[in-house]
Amino acid sequence: MNRTAWLQDRRMEKFRAVLSRWERKELSANEAGELLGISERQFRRYRHRFDENGLAGLADRRLGKASAKRVPVDKIAWMLGQYRTHHMGWNVKHFHEHLQRQHDFGWGYTWTKLQLHAAGLVERSTRRGPHRRKRPRKPCVGMMLHQDGSLHAWLEGAPELDLIVTLDDATSKIYSAFLVEQEGTVSTLRALLEVFTAEGLASSLYTDRGSHYFYTPVAGEAVDKTRLTQVGRALERLGIEHIPAYSPQARGRSERMFATLQGRLPKELDFAGIHDIEAANRYIREVYLPRHNAQFATPPQFPESGFVAVSDPASLADILCIEQDRVVARDNTVAYEGRCLQLPQSPARAHYVKANVKVREYPDGTLAVFHGPRRLARYTAKGEQIAQVPATPSVTPCSPPSRRGLARAEIVKPQERRPSLTAAARGVTANGQVGTKKRPLDRTKKLTKKQSHSPPIAT
């Protein structure tokens, strides 16, 4: 017995119970209609139909008839064929949105889901777990950013890749998303540089406790905020609070976003025929993100922005990078990660042997060597020099100069030595003499007081 027939039997039994009470004059016609959920007039109609045809007269006359709004069979077959041929594995919501956008599909989401369930193409979702209270969103954009990576088979036929996503807590708007082979310090700094350059500096950053984010002395325990990683050092210089999450449930907003992305983005990339990382990142940036944010981003509670504009966005690259200390070797080279960086000649000083320098590795892979605030040279990812000493110094606001007088490289001519006080006059040649001139032997010594009062010696 299906649900429709069972409900029909229940309505008949209830009508007979109420009708018997009406016949015993326990209920009026108006009260009997209220118990059945119908009007008094409809109750009278049911009484007449029951008197004429019995229980068969109470059957719903709409049963067994095709609805006037019924979808044609050929349309149902076309929809199921589209799913089997081009969209197998898509979730129902994503599939329905695609049909509406590409084919002006006019039937509802619930009808589409029921048809796919009846055809056995989509499994029914399991019952959800217990209800959890969500953390309230931040009231303004820029007050908190979420950043995380998700390892998944984003490209058809390619190995699993990491999708690095940076989104706003107030609106769930994704500011940056790109694919990399492995999540790490470089991918994190690259994402932060994209967001801070375009939007400004945020108030805080919420991440997991990965080794490139925090140093954790004991696994599973609190992080050590005194021992900063490269990401922590950059955020501290910029004045951005770095907040660690201690469970996946604490990052529920970003985890739910990744569930949406894993269900939609691989299908979109495969449908567009994209199978390499560079083309996928371009598609995500130019096509997918604008559409995704328009659909899933929510308006903030207050229109004010928590982002702080950067006066010189170019200076962010010197902060959002990997920075390590090195000592220059005797041949004016710097060893860095298996590469030998040769320092060029500089007019500022004769050499940099044994000088303490800093090597900065930027998110695009290029390198630079700094001595204090001065950039000595730039290199490619392979260690080949790509630029000479710049005419203007680097503008790094957080690196104080090591000593004064290094604002501009200038060659100072040596001053002429002043003549000695004992030197001969011009044009006069004197005999060469080595050492101090001795006194003559017959020079009279100065008499003492006792010798001056002694009587003369008679001859």
Residue 141: count of CB within 10 angstroms of its CB = 24
Residue 35 domain flag: yes
Kindly state whether residues 104 and 179 are assigned to the same domain.
no
User: 92-103 vs 252-271: helix axis angle to the nearest 10?
Assistant: 50
Kindly state whether residues 112 and 230 are assigned to the same domain.
no
Backbone angles phi, psi at 247, to 5 degrees: -160, 155
Kindly state whether residues 232 and 337 are assigned to the same domain.
no
* Residue 387, token pair as written in the block: 């630029």
Alpha carbons 173 and 188: distance in angstroms, whole number: 18
CATH code, domain with 186: 3.30.420.10
- In three-state secondary structure terms, 446 is coil
Kindly state whether residues 272 and 174 are assigned to the same domain.
yes
Kindly state whether residues 220 and 361 are assigned to the same domain.
no
Kindly state whether residues 222 and 337 are assigned to the same domain.
no
Kindly state whether residues 284 and 151 are assigned to the same domain.
yes
Per-residue pLDDT of the chain (459 residues; tens, 9 = 90+): 577 777 777 888 888 888 888 888 888 988 888 888 889 898 888 888 888 888 777 777 677 676 777 888 888 889 898 898 888 888 889 989 889 888 888 888 998 998 899 888 888 877 766 656 677 889 999 999 999 999 999 998 889 999 999 999 999 999 999 999 999 999 999 999 999 999 999 999 999 998 999 999 888 788 998 899 999 999 999 999 999 988 877 788 888 899 999 999 999 999 999 999 999 999 999 999 999 999 999 999 999 999 999 888 888 999 999 999 999 999 999 999 999 999 998 888 888 999 999 999 998 889 999 998 889 999 999 999 985 644 444 444 444 444 344 344 455 555 666 555 555 555 555 555 555 555 555 555 555 555 555 555 544
- Residue ranges making up the domain that contains 13: 3-58
Q: What number of residues does the chain have?
A: 459
Residues in Cβ contact with 245 at an 8 Å cutoff, skipping those fewer than 6 apart: 206, 207, 208, 209, 251
pTM of the model: 0.62
Kindly state whether residues 277 and 197 are assigned to the same domain.
yes
Q: H or E element: which one contains 359?
A: strand 356-361
Kindly state whether residues 171 and 292 are assigned to the same domain.
yes
* Structural domain count of the chain: 4
* Residue 400, token pair as written in the block: 């104080």
Residues in Cβ contact with 248 at an 8 Å cutoff, skipping those fewer than 6 apart: 255
Domain boundary among 362, 387, 412: 387
Kindly state whether residues 260 and 201 are assigned to the same domain.
yes
Closest by alpha carbon to 297, among 257, 251, 252? 257
Q: How far, in Å, are 23, 37, 44, 46 from residue 18 at the CA level?
A: 9, 12, 12, 12
